[in-house]
Amino acid sequence: MPKYDVKDIGLAKKGMDRIEWAAMDMPVLESIKKRFRKDRPLKGIRISACLHVTTETANLMDTLKAGGADVVLCASNPLSTQDDVAAACVKYIKVPTYSIKGEDNKTYYRHIMSAIDHKPHMTMDDGADVVGVLHTKKKDLLKHVIGGTEETTTGVIRLQAMAAEGVLQYPIMAVNEAMTKHLFDNRYGTGQSTMDGILRATNRLIAGSVFVVCGYGWCGKGLARTAKGMGAHVIVTEVDPLKALEAVMDGHQVMPIKEASAVGDIFVTVTGDLNVIHKGCFPKMKDGAIVANSGHFNSEIEIPALEKMKKKKRMVRDYVEEYTLRNNRRVYLLGEGRLINLASAEGHPSQVMDMSFANQALCAEYMVKNAKKLEKKVYDVPKRIDESIAALKLRAMGVNIDKLTAEQKKYLSSWEMGT
């Protein structure tokens, strides 16, 4: 048995059953795993993976191992771990795993350190925490690292800031920037699973509610679409005029957060920003307002301010904390303001993670082949990889598409042909 720190190794069988259930909807990753088993493109490569420990991640771990990698896994959020899956990763997939749902910050960083102690050749991050710790507290290990991958928007933004400052010490593939990632994972995945998290936590009716979505990026668009489809009146808040205009044209109401605060029933932040729902908002909210976040960090809702302005606080259901304010109105904070789709639900459906993690696996292979040629920068996923994943997914779904004829190819690349 590999080394581990999980909640209960006895949960492994239940976790493995659920991992197999997810695998049924991950045909692209499965086809990569089969090829990896033959080609062994990651042979001898030590990988420190810091990802949400879910059934889909377990399938990615299995794929990396099939490719010959020596992988260690830790959580990328204190509240996103599925404890049965963590146990199964250890017992059945034979990956050292360090993650416990609900771990405190100290344990969270101790687990990251355990993953880093693996002396990785490659890092696989969701939020750039491993890169951050390596570049600050474990600089001596940087010499082993050839490259890394990053899963999410917030992580990519941080890494680009590191590259711009000239502090990034190895190349990173920005998996999030692949079309087969953010178009599906961020939009449809976050859109559906965030709603799933809110429903599991509250069991509230969405139809007829005023549903406020803060941020109209990929995640926000998906969430607004889901809420509208369920009969909510959707209000969008934005800071980018183009995104705000898009929201208006998509049929949503757009207004500043302070105005929305007074009319919303349910509020969700998906911006990657700080204090989007801030201290000026809470006293304006209706009695019973629900506030949640599905952005990467728990910094989008100004929780310290809510703490200061509360008269009392109590847990009323799992993942639902009631704050009674001095004006006697009650505000309900879900999942400690951490990404609610992973805190109270199971994260994205496997069908979209199939493509996100196909990108992870193929980018790891790409990095091994090309690391020496790459600079210490953040790279987009090559179009060739993106298109191959889309083609594999379509084939797995039984969807055929047309091919350009020779005549059409010529027409599309010429400038002389007109009417």
Does 344 engage in binding with ligand NAD (CB under 6 A)? Answer: no
Does 191 engage in binding with ligand NAD (CB under 6 A)? Answer: no
- Nearest-CB residue to ligand NAD? 217
**Which member of 63, 149, 154, 299 binds ligand NAD (CB under 6 A)?**
154
Does 239 engage in binding with ligand NAD (CB under 6 A)? Answer: yes
Closest contact distance (angstroms) between CB of 244 and ligand NAD is: 8
**In angstroms, rounded to a whole number, what is the distance separating the alpha carbons of residues 273 and 295?**
8
Does 147 engage in binding with ligand NAD (CB under 6 A)? Answer: no
Strand partners, 293: 269, 339
Q: Given the complex with ligand NAD, which of 142 and 164 has the nearer CB atom? A: 164
Closest contact distance (angstroms) between CB of 190 and ligand NAD is: 4
H helical segments located in 203-323: 218-229, 241-249, 257-263, 303-309
Does 271 engage in binding with ligand NAD (CB under 6 A)? Answer: yes
The encoded tokens of residue 301 equal 């809702």
Instruction: Tell me the helix, strand and coil percentages in the chain, rounded to 5.
Output: 50, 15, 35
Q: Given the complex with ligand NAD, which of 90 and 260 has the nearer CB atom? A: 260
Does 272 engage in binding with ligand NAD (CB under 6 A)? Answer: yes
Closest contact distance (angstroms) between CB of 237 and ligand NAD is: 5
The encoded tokens of residue 61 equal 């771990």
* CA distances, 129 to each of 46, 102, 179, 217 (Å): 18, 18, 24, 23
Which range of residues in 114-122, 165-173, 272-280, 384-392 is near ligand NAD by CB under 6 A? Answer: 272-280
Which range of residues in 16-24, 209-217, 308-316, 394-402 is near ligand NAD by CB under 6 A? Answer: 209-217
**Which member of 158, 182, 225, 330 binds ligand NAD (CB under 6 A)?**
182
Q: Tell me how crowded residue 44 is: count the other CB atoms within 10 A of its CB.
A: 10
The encoded tokens of residue 176 equal 């999030």
Instruction: Tell me if 90 sits within 8 A of 108, measured CB to CB.
Output: no
Closest contact distance (angstroms) between CB of 220 and ligand NAD is: 6
Distance in Å from the first CA to the final CA of the chain: 70
Q: Given the complex with ligand NAD, which of 302 and 365 has the nearer CB atom? A: 302
Closest contact distance (angstroms) between CB of 58 and ligand NAD is: 17
Helix (H, G, I), strand (E, B) or coil at 301: strand
Nearest of 28, 48, 43, 44 to residue 126 by alpha carbon = 48
Does 294 engage in binding with ligand NAD (CB under 6 A)? Answer: yes
Rg (CA), the chain: 22
Does 75 engage in binding with ligand NAD (CB under 6 A)? Answer: no
Does 217 engage in binding with ligand NAD (CB under 6 A)? Answer: yes
**Which member of 16, 69, 128, 219 binds ligand NAD (CB under 6 A)?**
219
Nearest of 287, 361, 353 to residue 323 by alpha carbon = 287
Q: What is the largest CA-CA distance in the chain?
A: 73
**Which member of 27, 67, 78, 295 binds ligand NAD (CB under 6 A)?**
295
Q: Given the complex with ligand NAD, which of 215 and 349 has the nearer CB atom? A: 215
Q: Where are the beta strands (DSSP E) in 270-326?
A: 289-293, 310-317, 320-325
Does 158 engage in binding with ligand NAD (CB under 6 A)? Answer: no
Q: Given the complex with ligand NAD, which of 45 and 223 has the nearer CB atom? A: 223
- The dihedral over CA atoms of 379, 383, 389, 394, expressed in degrees to the nearest 10, equals 150
Helices (H) and strands (E) in the chain, counts: 17, 16
Interface with ligand NAD (CB under 6 A)? 152-154, 182, 186, 190, 214-220, 237-240, 243, 270-273, 276, 294-296, 339, 341
